[in-house]
Structure 1
């Protein structure tokens, strides 16, 4: 990679010579690793023109650095950063100059959560990654996506690619969602009742920001999706966690004075339980009579192993109490970061205005590519392929879990999805277990992140099969079982 001339500057009024300033800048950049070994320096002609100095000044500085070992030269190719230059050690906080700004005081709000998240960004480097929310690239039709992307780059769609839609979305994608995606969940919505988002988490954030403040109370499921808990806590509202059971969120456990209820009714995260129809009706009735809103995250509804998955809460709602959150992250790929909100016009108007302040709208090319992928039938084929593969993997995992004596804590069969909610024996801390398993090439997700009070859940963990091939599942489960047995015998993973 070539180093740009624009990275250099000299001060004609400085006490030191122009040549010395240039040499010092290059040395500092190399030692600080801002210029990396093998990178090409600007030609002496280009750099001299940019700095407004003589070419001899630059050439002499380069020659000095060549003799000192900071640069190397190649015949007819110019000067390059040398390979053998040692970088400076990073300065500790004590070495920082006293004049540095006090950012601990300047930061007005803090968003980092002190609770440690146990997601492993290097999961691909392990042979047995039971990692939730990650896609197996072998299952995605890359050729079809490439064709749709090229089609979206064509002259016909150039305005979509280049225009700023302000608060609007791609009408073709919104139309497909309203006419094909939502009806499969029994939901009828007009285009003006749909807002595209950068994934489900962005949709949940928009909903929380519009609906909550410090004087309001939000109900969340316990355990629940960690990202939602953090989003709700950031609004500084009153948070009321409700424990879920085998029938999902118990609507009769809600106290009065609630403003918003967040739920994963059809496929509870992370236990995979499904809220019964009776509880759904009771929750909707309480929302009607008590005046609170419901935010329904209907994740993974596409990955169903039955012909008739449970109806969405939104489909049963007769009083516009439910805000529906959908996403393409699980059915296409998580890096797509494209989701949608469905809700009443009053809510959508505020959510749309808030989205415009933050990111205007998702990229036009991304929206149009997705619209083509859906409308040309690739999406339906993709979902059907995922169902077949996930059903096979689930069957293999179910047999392996029973064979090796592991304990399922959540729904055992369920209507679909891509994970199991598990429980380790008493005395086995799954945070420590997860660390121990990394040495055996196994990635699991410990359970404490999902609970409001982490130590109440140190025995739970989640195993997903979206990112691991069928022929590796049984051996991975066997390694987990051996690690649990070893932890029990040695006490090495105890609380």
Structure 2
């Protein structure tokens, strides 16, 4: 590998002759590990031109480095870092002193420290990964996705690959969403009412920025998608958590001064409960009474493998007050980061302008690849395959849960990809998750899904989307055994408490 000439520069305050400065610059690059053994240095002519010095100066510097075994010459091929060059020191670099900037004052608004939980990057190496939202390599259609990606790289699609759309999107993807995806949810929309986003979370952020101010109020489900709560907190609007029941968010519990209502009616996150039709109508009526808007995150509607999903809330909306959030990241793979917003044109216009000021548009190649994967029927085939696999895994998990007398707190009547669970009250599921991880089991504690300072500690989520069916029973046995041990320990401590 050749070292780019742009990585070589002379420090303006350096001492000594130009020859010695060049020698020192290269030697320090080798000693620091920036220049690796066998890497090719720029030619003497190229480096001299870049540094603005004579070629003979560079030649002499290279000759000295050759003599000291820092460099080696290979005939007419040029100069290379020698295999016998000094090894970079093993000691740690000297610590840099503290910044002169007082960052506690310089930072005007904090975005860190939220509730969003990070999953282990090596989750696939765990024997029993009961975690939500990761792509299962055994189910994903690698071959056809690769073919669609190659097709999108072709000369025919050069414009889609390279064009700066500014605030627009790939017309093929927009057309497919408008003609095929949305009608399946009972939604009719024009292209001007659709905006491509970097996943559902980006769609929720755009919506929050456009609709909410410090004087407005948002109502969200409790428990809820923890990243949404972080987004709302960062917007500095007033936030009211509304505790969900078996049918989702109760409309009567929404405060009358609410401006925007966030809900997941298809599969409530994280309980997986589905909002029945009568409540959907009640929610629309409640929003109309308050002149509030509704943001519908159509979470996991594709995973309705037990029976057909209910029509989207947006499809029942006659007033234009529902903003619909969809995502391909959940049905394809999380790293895709591709979702969409559907709403009235004035709202989409503002969301489009905001997106353009932040990231312009999602990459054209990603949009065109997804458009091909969808239009050629690969996505539908993938959903059918995933639905069959998840149905089998759900049945295995349900039997294992029943055999171990574990308590289910919520399970999707239409399908989904997880069970919402509850351990005995004496079990802190954050500690449970830590103990299980040491045994090769990954679960999600329920703490982060709840709002407020006194959050329930006994809830957790078991997903079956990322674990093969033949490992589920053994994994549930390990979970149940750890819960029994912790529950017994908790009761013993309670008895011995002074």
- The normalised TM-score by structure 1 is 0.91
Given the superposition, is the C-alpha separation of residues 63 and 278 from structure 1 closer, same or farther in structure 2, using an over 3 Å criterion? same
CA distance, structure 2, for counterparts of residue 409 and residue 232 of structure 1 = 26
Please name the residue that 2:272 is paired with. Answer: 272
SS at match of 1:204: helix
Give the drift of 1:219.
0.4
Mapping for residues 233-244 of structure 1, pairs under 5 Å:
233-244=233-244
Give the drift of 1:63.
3.8
SS at match of 1:261: strand
SS at match of 1:137: coil
CA distance, structure 2, for counterparts of residue 493 and residue 453 of structure 1 = 29
Report if aligned partners of 1:427, 1:494 keep a CA contact under 8 Å in 2: no
Residue 422, structure 1, aligned to residue 424, structure 2: no
Residue 172, structure 1, aligned to residue 172, structure 2: yes
Mapping for residues 316-395 of structure 1, pairs under 5 Å:
316-395=316-395
Mapping for residues 230-269 of structure 1, pairs under 5 Å:
230-269=230-269
SS at match of 2:172: helix
State which of 85, 89, 96 in structure 2 corresponds to 1:86: 89
Mapping for residues 68-217 of structure 1, pairs under 5 Å:
71=70, 78-79=80-81, 84-89=87-92, 91-92=94-95, 95-96=96-97, 100-115=100-115, 117-217=117-217
Gaps of 5+ in 2: none
Residue 291, structure 1, aligned to residue 285, structure 2: no
SS at match of 2:202: helix
CA distance, structure 2, for counterparts of residue 4 and residue 176 of structure 1 = 44
Report if aligned partners of 1:400, 1:477 keep a CA contact under 8 Å in 2: yes
Give the drift of 1:106.
3.0
Q: What does the per-residue CA deviation read over 1:382-420, in whole Å, with 9 as the maximum and x for residues that have no partner?
A: 111110111111111111111122221112x52111111
Give the drift of 1:57.
4.1
CA distance, structure 1, for counterparts of residue 37 and residue 462 of structure 2 = 43
Give the drift of 1:476.
1.1
CA RMSD of superposed structures (Å): 2.5
Give the drift of 1:371.
0.9
Give the drift of 1:327.
0.3
Compare 268-277 and 41-50 and name the one that shifted more: 41-50
CA distance, structure 2, for counterparts of residue 113 and residue 161 of structure 1 = 37
Give the drift of 1:118.
4.5
SS at match of 2:340: strand
Give the drift of 1:295.
0.2
Compare 104-113 and 180-189 and name the one that shifted more: 104-113
Q: What does the per-residue CA deviation read over 1:300-354, in whole Å, with 9 as the maximum and x for residues that have no partner?
A: 1111123321221101111111000000011111111110000001111100110
Gaps of 5+ in 1: none
Please name the residue that 2:227 is paired with. Answer: 227
Given the superposition, is the C-alpha separation of residues 130 and 44 from structure 1 closer, same or farther in structure 2, using an over 3 Å criterion? same
CA distance, structure 2, for counterparts of residue 421 and residue 439 of structure 1 = 22
CA distance, structure 1, for counterparts of residue 344 and residue 116 of structure 2 = 36
Report if aligned partners of 1:421, 1:463 keep a CA contact under 8 Å in 2: yes
Compare 454-463 and 430-439 and name the one that shifted more: 454-463
Please name the residue that 1:55 is paired with. Answer: 58
CA distance, structure 1, for counterparts of residue 137 and residue 117 of structure 2 = 24
- The normalised TM-score by structure 2 is 0.91
Please name the residue that 2:8 is paired with. Answer: 8
Compare 175-184 and 38-47 and name the one that shifted more: 38-47
CA distance, structure 2, for counterparts of residue 36 and residue 480 of structure 1 = 49
Report if aligned partners of 2:429, 2:458 keep a CA contact under 8 Å in 1: yes
Compare 361-370 and 229-238 and name the one that shifted more: 361-370
Report if aligned partners of 1:133, 1:330 keep a CA contact under 8 Å in 2: yes
Report if aligned partners of 1:193, 1:348 keep a CA contact under 8 Å in 2: yes
Give the drift of 1:8.
1.6
Report if aligned partners of 2:220, 2:262 keep a CA contact under 8 Å in 1: yes
CA distance, structure 1, for counterparts of residue 29 and residue 383 of structure 2 = 50
Give the drift of 1:467.
1.1
SS at match of 1:159: helix
SS at match of 2:149: helix
Q: What does the per-residue CA deviation read over 1:430-474, in whole Å, with 9 as the maximum and x for residues that have no partner?
A: 111111111111111111111113642211111111111111111
Please name the residue that 1:303 is paired with. Answer: 303
SS at match of 2:134: coil
CA distance, structure 2, for counterparts of residue 483 and residue 38 of structure 1 = 51
Give the drift of 1:199.
0.5
Given the superposition, is the C-alpha separation of residues 398 and 157 from structure 1 closer, same or farther in structure 2, using an over 3 Å criterion? same
CA distance, structure 1, for counterparts of residue 86 and residue 415 of structure 2 = 53
Q: What does the per-residue CA deviation read over 1:142-170, in whole Å, with 9 as the maximum and x for residues that have no partner?
A: 11111111222222221111111121111
Give the drift of 1:121.
2.1
Report if aligned partners of 2:2, 2:42 keep a CA contact under 8 Å in 1: no
Compare 481-490 and 442-451 and name the one that shifted more: 481-490
CA distance, structure 1, for counterparts of residue 38 and residue 220 of structure 2 = 52
